Chains A and B, each alone.
Chain A
Amino acid sequence: MNKDLKIVSFKGGVHPPKDGKILSKKNAIQTAPLLERYQVIVSQNIGAPPAPVVKAGDEVKKGQLIAEAAGFVSVPLHAPTSGKIEGLIDIPGPMGVPAQAIAILADGKDEWAELAPPIDWRGADAETLKKRILECGIVGMGGAAFPSHVKLSPPPDKKIDYMIINGAECEPYLTADHRVMLEEPEKVLAGAAILGRAAGVKNVVIAVEINKVDAINAMMEKAAEFGVGIVGMKVQYPQGAEKQLIYAVTRRKVPTGALPADVGCIVQNAGTAAAVADAVRSGIPLIERVTTITGEPVVTPGNWRLRLGTPISAALTFCGGVKYEPSKLILGGPMMGFAQRSIEVTVMKNTSGILLLKKSEITQYESNPCIRCGRCIKACPMNLQPTVLSQLTEAGKFEETLKYNVMDCIECGACAFTCPAQIPLVQHIRRAKAEIRNRSKKR
């Protein structure tokens, strides 16, 4: 390991002894073959869903705009390949409810539309860069899908002095960011530098968990060229959570209810940085992403460059299918991902992983009463008391949970993971948070 590497961490958290990354971390990124049909879910970003601008029968080129941003917190959407628009259809959505999607019948030519001209980012001003990032539909690709240009435009009174690129990838099983940083270090570094420039920040740091030494070394070689720093982080979940990451890197604590910008930080994902580099230097919009397809039941787990709108069923066939019937399908990682009930859900901008779990990995549990061991309190990276919060929720005392800062919970699941009584702590806390949000809305 490089001796110059500074290793930092937050306090608390958990580390699953078997994190499953071994399944796919050695497998290079493969590009998925062209499919006949793509179903691009319209609402792929947090905030307002973009408004479709194509109708059935339209011919589109690869990378052509198919839905335009509808508001500030919204990003446009682009066609993943060239072909004919079949129309707007309802497909099973990632949140369990049907989602609107634009179906595209590929013509097989895979022709690019006319792309925006490359920008010489070293000389470009922040506004040009931000505009390009918006136009290329870039969102946070780690999972939240928050529009990147919004993060880059904090209120003018907030002084930003840190741009942190999140390469922690602390979720078990996922290796997509790892492979991107290892195979395209130059792209990630350039993206990081561009993001730094767009936000007007000198201090750009890529933070990587030290179980990705090869990726760290690959980036270290060229880091100086881009003026980007690299720090190592202890392997601990949720190291990559925004507030934990900021604390680990800068020792600044984001206060309750505040945003990273309030402590002068902006956090962007490593995959996002690579997409930003493509968008700015080549004008390529975000139409594909690297996704880890993994899990014990998968024949050959790996990291695949999948186009938006690729059905999970098709993605699994790229990996040779499954060895036996899986018991659970999760989009994202096992800790914070979303369990799916249909394999017709399609890949979105924030699909960092497609994870299959086998029967023995799914615990069907009965939860037992709290034994007051305090492990959840020790594990909570936000220094909350999950046991108290869950008990108050069960008693219906939602107002009371506010006193225990329930809204600070980042729903990382560390408490429920560590609970020996298998209490669904996070579910209780989510209920309380939803209840409080509803009440404040009513008022």
Chain B
Amino acid sequence: MLLTIILSILALSGLGIILGLAIGFVSKFFGVATDPKVDLVLELLPGVNCGGCSRPGCADFARALVAGEASPEQCPVSSQEAVTQIAQLLGMTVGDLEKKVAVVLCGGDIHQTKVKTLYNGVNDCISAMQIAGGPKSCAYGCLGMSSCARACPFGAIEMINGLAVVHNELCVGCGVCVDTCPRDLIKLVPAEAKVHIYCSSPEKAAVKMKVCNVPCIACRKCVKSGEEGQFEIKGFRVEVNYDNFPGEDIVEKSGCPKNCLLTTAQHLEIERNADKEENAV
């Protein structure tokens, strides 16, 4: 009995010693040196692996930062504070960050834009685009099948009335949604820019008016009431110049006849109310 106990104690401790030595040997001679900084940086990063820095995830971005292949402000999600901390840790200097948010430049929800055909298939914008360009009559408008909303790692895109609307307070500007839109409606813009022209169609005004109630008809009222260079005329539509964007008062000043020049808050409000009206009916 006693012998059994002693034997098993000896056997187990012997085994423990041998394996311990083996582990020690392996870690000494085969170990991969990691920079402790990588872990420190990783802790400061948001850790959502959104891919906004164009790297597979936060861990790889941290490694790239320490290796000097990237700079901290490439992470669109981190706050200014976190970026400064990372920069300090790595002995870098960063300039002021410009926070960006996504905006879907289309105001054609199901009430405003006619649906030309019945679509009966996969609920995905890219798939729908492959079938005769999608069911919407505007060939440039939001298809409303929430491909971008599903792709957003932060749940910042809401589908209201068949239109994708970005919630600015949730959007971190990672840009994942930009690539999912087959109609290239989503733009990354400075978070300070609150006014947008919600139309991306390059068609002539007459064509747009046939299919949509709220197109930009390039009347240039906004261009005239704004300061020089705040808007860019691009063919048959006007675009906000996001390098020199106008303030929120421009909406009232210009009196956009088609209601496509809106602040983000107004746009959201309109979509919400349209929904309510429909429910009331």
In the assembled complex, B127 has its CB within 8 A of some CB on chain A: yes
Q: Which residues does chain A contribute within 8 Å of B116, judged by CB atoms?
A: 341
Q: Which residues of A sit under 8 angstroms from B139, Cβ to Cβ?
A: 97
What residues on A are CB-neighbors of B118 within 8 Å?
364
State the CA gap A430–B126 with chains docked (Å).
Answer: 10
A262, chain B: closest CB distance, angstroms? 28
B139 to chain A: closest residue by CB = A97
Nearest B residue to A390 via CB reads B122
Most chain B Cβ neighbours within 10 Å, of A97, A427, A428, A430:
A427
Q: How large is the interface on B (under 10, 10 to 19, 20 to 34, 35 or more residues)?
A: 10 to 19
Which among B116, B120, B130, B139 has the highest number of chain A CB atoms within 10 Å?
A: B120
Q: Contact between A427 and B132 (Cβ–Cβ < 8 Å)? A: no
Contact yes or no, A97 B133, CB < 8 A: yes
> Judging by beta carbons under 8 Å apart, are B133 and A96 in contact?
yes
A95 to B134, CA, bound (A): 11
User: Are B132 and A95 neighbours in the complex by a CB distance under 8 Å?
Assistant: yes
Which residue from chain A places its CB closest to the CB of B134 in the assembled complex? A96
Q: Mark A343-379, 1 if CB is under 8 A from B, else 0.
A: 0000000000000000000001100000000000000
Asked if A96 and B121 sit within 8 Å, CB to CB, the answer is no
Given A97-B139, A341-B117, A431-B127, does the pair A424, B132 have CB atoms closer than 8 Å? no
Instruction: Establish whether residues B132 and A431, one from each chain, have CB atoms under 8 Å apart when the complex forms.
Output: no
- Alpha-carbon distance A116/B170, docked complex (angstroms): 70
Beta-carbon contacts of B121-139 to A below 8 Å, as 1s and 0s? 1101011001111000001
Q: Are A428 and B132 in contact (CB-based, < 8 A)? A: no
Q: Given the complex, which residues of B lie within 8 Å of A430, measured CB to CB? A: 127, 130
Min C-beta distance of B218 to chain A, whole Å = 20
| Bound form: Cα–Cα A424–B122 in Å | 7
Given A428-B127, A431-B127: A96 and B122 interface contact (C-beta under 8 Å) = no
Least CB distance, B118 to chain A, in whole angstroms = 8
- Which of these, B117, B120, B122, B124, contacts A364 with CB under 8 Å? B120
CB distance from A433 to the nearest CB of B (A): 9
Minimal beta-carbon separation of A342 from chain B (angstroms): 9
**CB pair B121 A431 closer than 8 Å:** no
- Binary B-proximity of A269-287 (CB < 8 A = 1, otherwise 0): 0000000000000000000
Contacts of B127 in A (CB 8 A): 427-428, 430-431
Contact assessment for A427 and B133 in the assembled complex, using a CB-CB cutoff below 8 Å: no
A427-B126 contact, Cβ under 8 Å, with A341-B116, A365-B120: no
Contact indicator A427/B122 (Cβ below 8 Å):
yes
Q: What is the bound-complex CA distance between A353 and B126, given in angstroms?
A: 28
Hey, what's the 0/1 contact readout for A320-351 against B, CB within 8 Å counting as 1? 00000000000000000011110000000000
> 1/0 contact trace for A409-443 toward B, CB 8 Å?
00000000000000010011011001100000000
With known contacts A431-B126, A434-B126, A96–B120 Cβ distance under 8 A: no
**A364-B120, A427-B121 known; A95 vs B133 contact (CB < 8 Å):** yes
- A339 lies within 8 A of B132 (CB): yes
A341→B122 CA distance, assembly (Å): 19
User: Could you tell me the distance between the alpha carbons of A431 and B118 in the complex, rounded to whole angstroms?
Assistant: 19
CB contacts under 8 Å to A, within B106-121, are: 116-118, 120-121
Chain B residues near A (Cβ < 8 Å): 116-118, 120-122, 124, 126-127, 130-133, 139
Closest 7 CB pairs of A and B: A96-B132, A96-B133, A431-B127, A341-B117, A424-B121, A427-B122, A427-B121
Extra contacts, 8 of them, besides A97-B133, A427-B121, A434-B126 (Cβ < 8 A), are A96-B133, A341-B117, A364-B118, A424-B121, A427-B127, A427-B130, A427-B131, A428-B127
20 A-B contacts (beta carbon < 8 Å): A95-B132, A95-B133, A96-B132, A96-B133, A97-B132, A97-B133, A339-B117, A341-B132, A364-B118, A364-B120, A365-B120, A424-B122, A427-B121, A427-B122, A427-B131, A428-B122, A428-B127, A430-B127, A431-B126, A431-B130
